[in-house]
């Protein structure tokens, strides 16, 4: 029995299948990594030594690397992260928010933002992102929604997603101006934006638009190893000492030096060759988008779909290929499964009505040809759907918003119990419940489960929609006891 190594064997089998990679990390199996670094990566698994410096209180090469990061992204100060953007978002909460303080938060925020709210105890005021029925995804926040919320709530912080997982953004300059006019701090989960600063045809970078804090995953798009990330701050707004203190609470005292080195090298690569590399990446992605859009049954999110200034669909990262599949007689998840199994093409994800492919500086023309050929075959195999209209359940989901009773922290630490969904009416949720689509939590921890919400969850369960919760079958839900 113990001669087996199931995880290692699974990883080895995956790597040796020679797939076309349209998922993170951005180096695509090491293609864009420095050759010496790639060859000696195990030897770089070091400890905090006199020659290597210490992440928690850097004085040598780590500090110098952080200064170069800040210069490259043109920000006041930057911090290396070795536990992904998750650690950065939690550090932002610890540095910028206070217990019971109101903060405006996009409802489609990453769960690490919720983790930060739980740790700090701030009181979120959830804002609805712009919904896209054609692709089955949520985009950014409309400026009008934010303006009303700032005026009505008196909140002194706004926490937004820029860009979304799918590469779309709200009007970050307009949001920053609204924050300035209301004396509010702009906080940004920019996990998918580390390349924005290095090419003028990419969306406006939040760190240059007025954000007090921007978190970015170097590994998702650039040549960082998994968990390589950075946190940029405006030190005139956030105290660097408070940020460092927050990071000391949540980051490991045994950081992987290869992760940090990969961030250092990714920064160097972008500063020396980033414009040319991103030129080629954008060109490949745009040509591939046109080829995919020509396949019957498919649509691709492109600049002509943008909704204009001030909207939550203001700009688009064209290196992301969001392929609409609602015209096919197959779910996006089924499309991904066939692409992988039959064609050796692995997208980032498939959802109800869409497939997301992440292209980076690590992809090749051969990858793109395999992607187009794979989609063409899958579309032909699946056939066309006579009626691509979405269920009215989505409209109902977006119209219902539960009453907030407790903060996420209060709900997290409260005594909880699992109860049958049918008996949960009036109870306070102890967990987030997120149907897909739309991928926006229908219920957040601390919100009351009403009859309308329970009816919708039951209908979604009956319709076969995936639901992210402690019990995906929705037979039981966790509530405050």
CATH of the domain at 435: 3.90.100.10
- pLDDT of 326-365, one tens digit each? 999 998 889 999 999 999 999 999 987 899 999 999 999 9
Is pLDDT of 259 > 80?
yes
Task: Supply 342's token pair.
Answer: 């039959």
Same domain, 418 and 319: no
pLDDT at residue 392 is higher than 70: no
Same-domain pairing of 97 and 228? yes
Q: What pLDDT is recorded for position 219?
A: 97
- Judged against a pLDDT cut of 60, whether residue 128 lies above it is answered with yes
Sheet of 320-324: strand order equals 299-300, 320-324, 354-358, 349-351
Same domain, 253 and 293: no
For residue 41, say if its preceding peptide bond is cis, omega within 30 degrees of 0. Answer: no
Same-domain status, 191 and 305:
no
Same domain, residue pair 77 and 194: yes
Number of domains in the chain: 3
How many angstroms separate the CA atoms of 96 and 157, rounded? 8
Instruction: Give yes or no: residues 87 and 213 share one domain.
Output: yes
Q: Is residue 245 part of a domain?
A: yes
Over residues 85-114, the pLDDT tens digits come to 999 999 999 999 999 999 999 999 999 999
Q: What is the mean pLDDT of residues 154-180?
A: 97
Say if residue 278 is in the same domain as residue 257. no
On whether both 428 and 283 belong to a single domain, the answer is no
Nearest-angstrom CA–CA distance, 219 and 231: 13
> Would the pLDDT of 201 be above 90?
yes
Q: Domain containing 466: what range?
A: 392-480
Q: How far is CA 64 from the centre of its chain?
A: 28
pLDDT of residue 401: 84
Q: Are 376 and 413 contained in the same domain?
A: no
Residue 171: the pLDDT is 98
pLDDT on residue 387: 67
Average pLDDT, the chain: 94
pTM of the model: 0.94
- Which stretches of 163-224 are DSSP H helices? 172-181, 206-209, 218-221
Read off the pLDDT band of 423 (50, 70, 90). very high
Q: Is residue 92 part of a domain?
A: yes
Let me know whether 439 and 375 are in one domain.
no
Burial classification of residue 56, based on how many CB atoms lie within 10 Å of its CB (0-12 exposed, 13-18 middle, 19 or more buried):
middle
CA distance 417 to 402: 19
- What are 415's two structure tokens? 């005594």
Query: Is there a single domain that holds both residue 248 and residue 285?
Result: no
Q: Is the pLDDT of residue 390 over 60?
A: no
- DSSP calls for 248-308: HHHS-SS--HHHHHHHHHHHHHHHHHHHHHHHHHHHHHHHHHHHHHTSTT-EE--GGG---
Range of lowest pLDDT (54-68, 340-354, 428-442): 428-442
Residue 423 within a domain: yes
Q: Residue 14 domain-assigned?
A: no
Is 202 in the same domain as 346?
no
User: Two tokens at 252?
Assistant: 């490991």
Contact 87, 257 (CB under 8 A): no
Whether 449 has a pLDDT exceeding 70, the answer reads yes
Q: Is 353 exposed, middle or buried (0-12, 13-18, 19+ CB in 10 A)?
A: buried
Query: Mind listing the pLDDT tens digit for each residue in 141-151?
Result: 999 999 999 99
3-state DSSP call for residue 463?
helix
Per-residue exposure over 288-319, b if at least 16 CB sit within 10 Å of its own CB, e if not: bbebbeebebbbbbeeebbeeebbbbbbbbbb
For residue 364, give the CATH number of its domain.
Answer: 3.90.1150.10
């Amino acid at each position: 029995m113990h001669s087996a190594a199931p995880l290692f064997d699974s990883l080895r089998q995956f790597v040796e299948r020679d797939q076309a990679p349209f998922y993170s990390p951005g180096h695509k199996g090491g293609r864009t990594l420095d050759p010496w670094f790639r060859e000696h990566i195990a030897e770089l698994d070091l400890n905090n030594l006199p020659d290597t410096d210490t992440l928690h209180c850097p004085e040598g090469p780590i500090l110098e690397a952080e200064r170069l990061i800040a210069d490259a992204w043109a920000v006041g100060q930057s911090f290396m992260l070795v536990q992904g953007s998750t650690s950065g978002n939690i550090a932002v909460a610890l540095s910028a928010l206070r217990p019971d303080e109101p903060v405006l938060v996009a409802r489609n925020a990453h769960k690490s933002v919720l983790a930060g709210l739980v740790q700090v105890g701030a009181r979120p005021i959830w804002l609805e992102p712009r919904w896209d029925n054609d692709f089955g995804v949520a985009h950014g926040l409309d400026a009008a929604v934010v303006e009303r919320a700032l005026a009505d709530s008196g909140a002194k912080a706004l926490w937004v997603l820029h860009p979304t997982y799918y590469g779309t953004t709200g009007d970050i300059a307009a949001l920053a101006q609204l924050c300035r006019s209301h004396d509010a701090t702009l906080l940004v989960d920019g996990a998918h934006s580390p390349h924005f600063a290095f090419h003028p045809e990419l969306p406006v970078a939040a760190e240059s638009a007025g954000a007090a804090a921007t978190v970015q995953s170097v590994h998702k798009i650039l040549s960082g190893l998994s968990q390589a990330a950075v946190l940029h701050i405006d030190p005139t707004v956030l105290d660097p000492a408070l940020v460092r203190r927050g990071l000391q609470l949540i980051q490991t005292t045994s950081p992987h030096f290869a992760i940090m080195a990969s961030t250092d090298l990714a920064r160097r690569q972008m500063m020396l060759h980033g414009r040319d590399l991103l030129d080629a990446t954008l060109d490949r992605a745009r040509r591939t988008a046109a080829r995919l859009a020509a396949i019957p049954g498919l649509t691709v999110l492109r600049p002509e779909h943008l909704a204009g200034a001030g909207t939550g669909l203001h700009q688009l990262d064209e290196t992301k290929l969001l392929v609409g599949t609602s015209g096919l007689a197959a779910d996006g998840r089924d499309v991904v499964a066939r692409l992988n199994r039959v064609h050796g093409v692995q997208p980032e994800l498939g959802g109800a009505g869409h497939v997301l492919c992440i292209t980076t500086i690590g992809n090749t023309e051969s990858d793109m040809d395999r992607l187009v050929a794979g989609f063409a075959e899958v579309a032909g195999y699946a056939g066309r759907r006579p009626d691509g209209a979405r269920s009215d359940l989505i409209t109902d989901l977006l119209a219902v918003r539960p009453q907030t009773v407790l903060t996420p922290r209060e709900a997290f630490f409260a005594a909880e119990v699992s109860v049958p969904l049918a008996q949960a009416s009036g109870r306070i949720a102890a967990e987030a419940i997120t149907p897909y689509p739309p991928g926006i939590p229908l219920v957040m921890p601390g919100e009351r489960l009403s009859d309308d919400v329970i009816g919708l969850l039951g209908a979604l369960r009956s319709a076969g929609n995936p639901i992210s919760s402690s019990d995906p079958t929705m037979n039981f839900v966790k509530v405050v006891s």
